[in-house]
Amino acid sequence: MGKSHHMNFTKDVSLAPYTTFKIGGPAEFFYEAGTIEEIVESVSQARALDLPVTLLGGGTNILIGDKGIRGLVIKNNTGAITIRGMKASYRSGKKVGSVYVEADSGVLFNKLVRFTVDEGLGGLEAHLGLPGTVGGAIYMNSKWTKAASKDAAQGIVTQNNRRRYFGTLPMPTSYVGDAVYQATILTPQNETKIVDRTFFRFAYDTSAIQKTGDIVLQVVFALTPGEKDGLWKVANHSIAYRRVSQPQGVKSSGCTFRNLSPAEAISVSSPNQTTSAGFLVDHAGLKGLKIGDAQISPVHANFIVNNGHASARDVVELIELARRKVKEQFGIELVEEIVRVGEF
């Protein structure tokens, strides 16, 4: 790292424009990092001043409090993608080759998917359409439904026929963490470390850094050479299915609640023991409900949308109401997927 020089932190920057919810108060200090060195340097300077540090990726999975975030908020604009090399390895006795692709944590996930699919590399194609950055996707272990049938993979899923393809059965899921090989992290003690996939203990909506507070700087993905046309088919199917299953063109932070565990799903008398949190919110009669400008989406009950000038308070009240009603009716404690950040 070069010699330290004083960085330009801006005071009192409104964060709402940096989120897809368009909600949230100001950052006490704000800095846009364009390189990994700038992240490391700004974190170290903030910590030397005893300022807490918050990394902001695409702002697509967070709810920032109306009173904003104390300390330094770093908007991650890093964007490099590099093919690092190739290695033959053995999987269940079969020789397969891996290609290693390294991405800065600020790379938009969609850009990474398009890049790898264009290179004919398999492993991330199911995630085309995932908003946000590589760092946010590692923090959340973001996921998507794998193409459920050959027909569906042709990209011909519509609102009318989606039940035929998918029913209400739990669908197989692809996790971003599945393709991770290793990552460079910055620890709370300001050390830069290389860690492998197991470090993250990836599980549904879970990665170890949610507890450790490590910052992800770069990630190396292990990908498998594949057939470009086939990979694009899966990628395009993912987009097509997103269009029919998620509200489009609204201000939101994606799914509000985590889906149920299979054990919880069994305890609820729902069709096919669905694990869908949205199903419970819907069947508690809450679809379309409004508090202020915040509304439970009439399209997808697990999305909360901002119809104009919703406050974080409005959203929190809707969340609490939904949790209370679902608990009363189904005995299930819904857990939030959206990450609350800052002061409310």
Ligand X SMILES: Cc1cc2nc3c(=O)[nH]c(=O)nc-3n(C[C@H](O)[C@H](O)[C@H](O)COP(=O)(O)OP(=O)(O)OC[C@H]3O[C@@H](n4cnc5c(N)ncnc54)[C@H](O)[C@@H]3O)c2cc1C
- Binding region for ligand X (CB under 6 A): 20, 54-62, 76, 105, 130-133, 135-137, 139-140, 142-144, 209, 215-216, 246, 252-254, 339, 341
Distance CA 83, CA 100 (A): 6
Strand-pairing partners, residue 340, are 63
Helices (H) and strands (E) in the chain, counts: 10, 18
Using the minimum distance from each CB to ligand X, give the nearer residue, 97 or 213: 213
Cβ nearer to ligand X, comparing 98 with 207 = 207
Helix (H, G, I), strand (E, B) or coil at 25: coil
Based on CB atoms, which residue is closest to ligand X, 201 or 327?
Answer: 201
Closest to ligand X by CB, 20 or 274: 20
Helix extents (H) in 49-147: 109-118, 134-140
Q: What amino acid occupies position 305?
A: V
- Say how far apart CA 124 and CA 144 lie, in whole Å: 10
Contacts of 31 (CB under 8 A, 6+ apart): 7, 8, 9, 10, 38, 42, 72, 73, 74, 75
CB-nearer residue toward ligand X: 59 or 325:
59
CB of 114 to ligand X, least distance (A): 16
Return the number of the residue (237 or 325) whose C-beta is nearest ligand X: 237
Quick one: angle between helices 228-245 and 109-118, nearest 10?
150
List of residues 6+ apart from 254 with CB closer than 8 A: 20, 60, 61, 131, 303, 337, 338
Minimum CB–partner distance for residue 328 and ligand X (Å): 28
Question: Whose CA is closest to 208, among 244, 180, 237?
Answer: 180
**C-alpha span between 78 and 133 (Å, rounded):** 10
Least distance to ligand X from the beta carbon of 139, Å?
3
Residue 337 bridge partners (DSSP)? none
Which residue shows structure tokens 């063109």?
A: 249
d(CA 174, CA 242): 14
Q: Which is nearer to ligand X, 74 or 332 (CB)?
A: 74
Q: How far is the CB of 89 from ligand X (least distance, A)?
A: 27
Question: In the chain, which ranges are continuous DSSP H helix?
Answer: 36-48, 109-118, 134-140, 150-153, 162-166, 209-212, 228-245, 262-267, 277-283, 312-330
| Cβ 59 to ligand X shortest distance, Å | 5
Nearest approach, Cβ of residue 270 and ligand X (Å): 22
Question: By C-beta, is 302 or 311 nearer to ligand X?
Answer: 302
Instruction: Find the shortest distance in angstroms from Cβ 5 to ligand X.
Output: 23
**Least distance in Å: CB of 175 to ligand X?**
8
Q: How far is the CB of 278 from ligand X (least distance, A)?
A: 13
- Residue 31 or 144: the one with the smaller Cβ distance to ligand X is 144
